[in-house]
Amino acid sequence: MNGTQPNTQCQARTDLMGSAFTTYRIGGPLDEAYLPENEAELLSILDKVSTENKTLTVLGWGGNSIIASAGIRGITLILRKLESIETLSETRIRFGAGVHLARAASTAQKASLTGGEYMIGIPGTIGGAIRMNAGALGQETADLVREVRLFNLESKQIETKTAEELEFSYRKSGIVPGRDIILSADLEFKPGNLADITQMMDQSVNFRKTHHPKEPNGGSVFKNPAPDKPVGRLMEELGAKGSWQEGKMMVSPLHGNFIINLGGGTSVDTLRLMRRMQVAAKEAYDVNLHPENLFLGDATAEEKELWNTLIQY
């Protein structure tokens, strides 16, 4: 075998299930999946996408994704192997889009850099964190981002966007799904005290162990409508925790803004339960809950109706 032959990881995989690539452990077959190991492989696949005009779905760690039980048609790009890390200066680090957030947090910690402690407990990647402006502990991704390199599927060009151009807001960014594929990001940290950084990260891990469910879940289901109205508390007041259930999906007994998979849950179960939570919050508190989870894949007619209602509510 010589070095000119393609890496097998860049070959199309037709034997993968979506459930293996989402923390909900839900999802049917992926028709044509790729796991590029570097940027060159990724760009080659994106060229194929443009040429063949196939539907494209992008997955990182699947930490907030609901994949349809029927699976995903077209091409699925799984970016979790884009794990390059490059130190640019004493405080600036470039991360590949697929770097897991816990690894990014640990990288900053080892350099005594503060600002990324929140990442330690989030089951996602740098690319996903930028797309949704992930945050915790009073920190968020927008605080760190200086530049993001992405591939624009419309212009077929690599572009560099500043944090200002990405127009970050609460759990939102200017990244356009279906057009912008994040390649890497330059994050700027601040010099800190190693003991303080370690303590903050340990506290975060311990808090999540005691307050977040261990069962398969997709993280926070809805965005908090206001700082003084956390969804978890609203659901607890409504009696949803450990009680409301659709099929094998249940509102977690530990946290009211988490839905857990009891084993054998489906995508439609999840959406039905989300809709029940959304309607109840509106009726009881007159608040509109907007999904923090994402729905991906080949939706049934009921799933399309449920998801469209959830995001337009």
Residues tagged active-site? 171, 220, 292
303 is written with which tokens? 């799933």
For residue 222, what are the β-bridge partners? 291
In the chain, how many H helices and how many E strands?
Answer: 8, 17
Q: Which two tokens stand for residue 248?
A: 């094998």
Contact residues for 134 (Cβ-Cβ < 8 A; gap 6+): 101, 118, 119, 122, 124, 128, 140, 141, 171
Q: Assign 3-state DSSP to the chain and report helix, strand, coil percentages, each to 5.
A: 35, 25, 40
What phi, psi does 301 have (nearest 5°)? -60, -40
- Please state, in angstroms and rounded to a whole number, the distance separating the CA atoms of residues 200 and 126: 20
Distance CA 185, CA 162 (A): 10
d(CA 19, CA 40): 27
- Tokens at residue 183, please? 């390649």
d(CA 156, CA 179) in angstroms, rounded, equals: 10
